[in-house]
Structure 1
Amino acid sequence: MLLSAAGVAMCLIGGWLWSSRWSKLRHLLDTPTSRIRSAAQGYVELAGVLRGLPEMPPLLAPLTATPCLWWRYRIEEYCSGGKRGSWRILEQGSSEGLLRLFDATGDCLIDPRGAEVLPARRDRWTGNQRHPRSARPAGVLAWLTGHRQYRYTEERLHADEPLYAIGDFRTTGGGRQGLDLLVAQGQVVREWKEDYAGLLQRFDNNRDGQLDQAEWSRVRLAAGLEAQQRHRLASDRQALHQLVRPEEGLPFVLSSHGEEVLARRFRWQAAGGAALCLLGAVVLAARMVG
């Protein structure tokens, strides 16, 4: 019974790993790299350099207090039970502040929430305090820290590091958005209706306390002109580019490694999932024959 359950589990886990990693691999390989200034709206792949936001001070990573632009950490406790022990997660978390990706044509803000982030900077060490009181010890000092009951992992993204990103690209301002006049006009009218007294004061010419058909025509005409003016002002503003999590469930990946490294990693993980699924099938077949 246990052998059959193990075979089923291997098939399910291996199948899921193969399917998810192969899907990521195909999207990475099939999506060409775009320049920020000329990128189309929608699902795109970008590559550039991380820069700090001018108005924001650098973040401090929670375990080492290292200045960075993004961090993720985990604290684990060693639990001994019987002949084998295991590590249990006590705390974990990641930062959610915006990142700024820069290439030769412009910059793009990235909302990292929901992304699979694969940073190059990763520190792991052990200690005897739940929260490390200082930066990671090194060399002989790390070996002499005594009973190591806790394990700490911290990953970071730093300024001026390369970044590969694939996700949903959106631009506001800069004349990139077209005007749907009827929709925009209706929005203006709804805003004006919230102050109905002000609307009457502007358009109730005969002062009878209501708007007749001719007066409503004037309201719609003025609202249309207001909508066009707002669109012109928005178009005059500098374009703001953003990369966010896709709504269609497409991969959202941020990585310090280039596309080739990621593709190789996803290819090996997909192969490992397929092998695990096949091994589970062999176990089930052997169980049925036996």
Structure 2
Amino acid sequence: MIDVYGLFWLDSTHLVLIAGSTGIVALYFLWRVFARLRLAWIVENTPTSLVRSAAQGQVELVGQAFPFEGRPLRAPLTGNPCLWYRYRIEKYQRRGKNSQWKEIEKGVSEQAFELRDATGSCLIDPRGADVHPRLRKRWEGNRRHPLSGDSPGLLSRLVFGERYRYTEELFVAEDICYALGWFETRGGGRHLPALEQMTADVVREWKADYPALLARFDSSGTGQLDESVWSRVREAAAEEAAQRRRVLAGEADQHWLQRPSRRGLPFLLSDHHEDDLSRQLRRQSGLATAGLLVCSLVSGGLWLALLNA
């Protein structure tokens, strides 16, 4: 057993495990210090674009948030209307003398919502975003899935025994929306495959229903399609592909903001003002710095105690 500065005794195996674990946590905090500072710098130094004139690629947009096609979501724990939600359910568990909150369920919405500024609108695909919501609620109850946001009283908790803790975060309609991500315009003939590719797709689609293909093109009734018939099939497929291409090319432009495909580029969503978001990121970096110092001191002290044993 090793005396750790007169505070407690540990065998060498447990001392190595604890020292190594706190060292790993210190490395995580070190990464988080610089990651949050980098995000704050990007938020502060990226110029805000307007939807109508935004370049394709990484951009920053600021506007108001609205439901996509006028269909808001319902928050799963409170039932409140929203545009985006994230929730967590924890259960209070007792094991002998120990008790703790254990996460038993969590979820996040993936439905797109709309950002509007003075020049136009852009759909936000929130999947994979680093989201910083302003609205956050935490409360307790005695049901796994609460029917409302009302917290039951102490008597109810004592009667039913089980305790649950709920956390719900929301974006709501008409709040400010800050978005930093990959901007892409779809429709208007963009990103259409070549006519030859669309023709081949039509032929494969028709061949999947071979009886219907025979009924349409086998005028001789032989039950087979020879080369001359296949020539007519390809001509008809080319006409169909050209018609589909004209329809797709006539669709209106639709702007999207989503997670960048390139690693290292941030995807941030927030209903804070830009300056508030930057301060929040810097506070998180400061907290990570404190965690780094504590874990480094603990890990270093434990390794030193092991070396001096």
**TM-score band, normalised by the shorter chain?**
0.7 to 0.9
CA contact (8 A) 1:18 1:271 kept: no
Instruction: Verify the 8 A CA contact 1:121 1:155 in the aligned structure 2.
Output: yes
1:287 aligns with 2:302: no
* TM-score under structure 1 length normalisation: 0.74
Which residue of structure 2 aligns with residue 136 of structure 1? 150
Match of 2:285 in 1: 270
State how far apart, in whole Å, the 1-side matches of 2:244 and 2:46 are.
Answer: 35
In structure 2, the CA distance between the partners of 1:146 and 1:193, relative to structure 1 (3 Å rule), is: closer
Instruction: Render the CA deviation track for 1:210-251: whole Å, top value 9, x for unaligned.
Output: xxxxxxxxxxxxx99999997776555322011111122332
Once the two structures are TM-superposed, the CA of residue 55 in structure 1 deviates from its matched residue by 4.9
1:67 pairs with 2:81: yes
Counterpart CA distance in 2 for 1:80 and 1:254 is 37
Question: Using the alignment, how far apart are the partners of 1:44 and 1:224 within structure 2?
Answer: 39
Alignment counterpart, residue 95 of structure 2, candidates 77, 81, 101:
81
* Alignment of structure 1 residues 36-185 onto 2, 5 Å: 36-56=51-71, 58-137=72-151, 142=153, 145-147=156-158, 149-174=163-188
Distance between the aligned counterparts of 1:95 and 1:116, measured in 2? 13
Is the Cα–Cα contact under 8 Å of residues 14 and 273 in structure 1 kept in the other structure? no
Report deviation, 1:158: 0.5
Q: Match of 2:270?
A: 255
State the secondary structure of the residue aligned to 2:15.
Answer: helix
Q: The residue matched to 2:68 in structure 1 has which SS?
A: coil
Stretches of structure 1 that go unaligned for 5 or more consecutive residues are 196-222
Does the Cα contact within 8 Å between 2:16 and 2:303 map onto a contact in 1? Answer: no
Q: How many residues of Structure 1 are paired with residues of Structure 2 in the alignment? A: 285
SS for the counterpart of 1:54 is helix
Distance of 2:57 and 2:149 partners within structure 1: 41
Alignment pair present for 1:12 and 2:24 = yes
DSSP 3-state at the match of 2:59: strand
Q: 1:192 to 1:78 in 2, by over 3 A?
A: closer
Distance 1:241 1:279, change over 3 A: farther
Unpaired runs of 5+ in structure 2? 1-11, 210-236
Task: Quote the residue 1:220 is aligned against.
Answer: none
Residue 46 of structure 1: how far off its partner (Å): 1.6
Q: TM-score, normalised by structure 2?
A: 0.70
The 1:189–1:91 alpha-carbon spacing in structure 2 relative to 1, beyond 3 Å, is: closer
Whether the aligned pair in 2 keeps the contact of 1:125 and 1:151 (CA below 8 Å) is yes
Once the two structures are TM-superposed, the CA of residue 60 in structure 1 deviates from its matched residue by: 1.4
Q: Secondary structure at the match of 1:88?
A: strand
Query: For the residues of structure 2 that align with 1:264 and 1:5, how far apart are their CA atoms?
Result: 36
With over 3 angstroms needed to count, the CA separation of the structure-2 counterparts of 1:186 and 1:130, relative to structure 1, is: closer
Give the deviation of 1:109 after TM superposition: 0.8
